[in-house]
Amino acid sequence: MKNEDYAIIVDHTTVRFNMASERIDNLKEYFVKLAKRELMFKEFLALKDISLKVKKGEAWGIVGTNGSGKSTLLKLICGILKPYKGTVTINGSMAPLIELGAGFDPDLTARENIFLNGAVLGHDKYFMQEHFEEIVDFAELQNFLDMPIKNYSSGMSARLGFAVATVTRPDILICDEVLAVGDYAFQQKCEKRMQDMRDSGTTLLYVSHSAESVKSVCERALWLNKGESVMIGNAEEVMDHYIEFLEC
């Protein structure tokens, strides 16, 4: 297949972080050691030679225990992180939901944050006004629009973030466990919207600790462990092996 047929291509990618090898308690000590070239770091590879090709319109689940590199991979794909080795190619527009409250100002009301988050995603004021009621209805926050976001629960913030991010049909939707904080009914509502978006051609990357959710939403899956790719394939098969691993 041609590269244009893929929404996401991750080609032999490694992500490296430098971790301080000693504890430094204040900025003065940090800069003194830095000036004297006494600051020591040790290398940490968060992702190790990861390759992934996601066809346009596919839904992929990304699974693994905490610290396995799932969020690092999504941040790499979103362009937040740069690879130490390898390349990442993206074909299409992207709506990332990789962190609760990303793009929100905690001191502003939900009403104000809808327009702010819309601007972060590249929508103008007219577009947000046109879709304002749709966003509010989906998030089910009609009675809390004039409350500052800092007073919202994590579930309420997730509702609002998901509603804004999915008001259009992006080419690629990325969800990183943000739906885990919502109640069951809202999770089902989000899964239905993701399925509708998939039916219209949106590519989905979905991180979840729920095996049943990954099986129902995704057709393909990637299992990561300690930054390495353990298994890539059919979502049900990958999840069955992953669950066996967890139960050992």
CB 61 within 8 A of CB 239: yes
- Condensed to tens digits (0 to 9), the pLDDT of residues 167-180 reads 888 899 888 766 65
Q: Is the pLDDT of residue 155 over 70?
A: yes
% helix / strand / coil in the chain, to the nearest 5? 40, 30, 30
CB 45 within 8 A of CB 242: no
Residue 148 class from Cβ within 10 Å (0-12 exposed, 13-18 middle, 19+ buried)?
middle
d(CA 42, CA 227): 16
pLDDT at residue 27, as a whole number: 64
- Condensed to tens digits (0 to 9), the pLDDT of residues 17-36 reads 876 555 656 665 555 555 65
d(CA 54, CA 1): 11
d(CA 109, CA 95): 22
pLDDT at residue 187, as a whole number: 78
Block residue for tokens 């239905």: 192
Domain 58-86+93-247 in CATH 3.50.50.60: no
Q: Which residues pair with 43 in a beta bridge?
A: 18
d(CA 3, CA 124): 31
Q: Is the pLDDT of residue 38 over 60?
A: no
- What residue spans of 94-234 are helical by DSSP H? 110-120, 125-139, 154-165, 184-199, 211-217
Tokens of 83: 């690879």
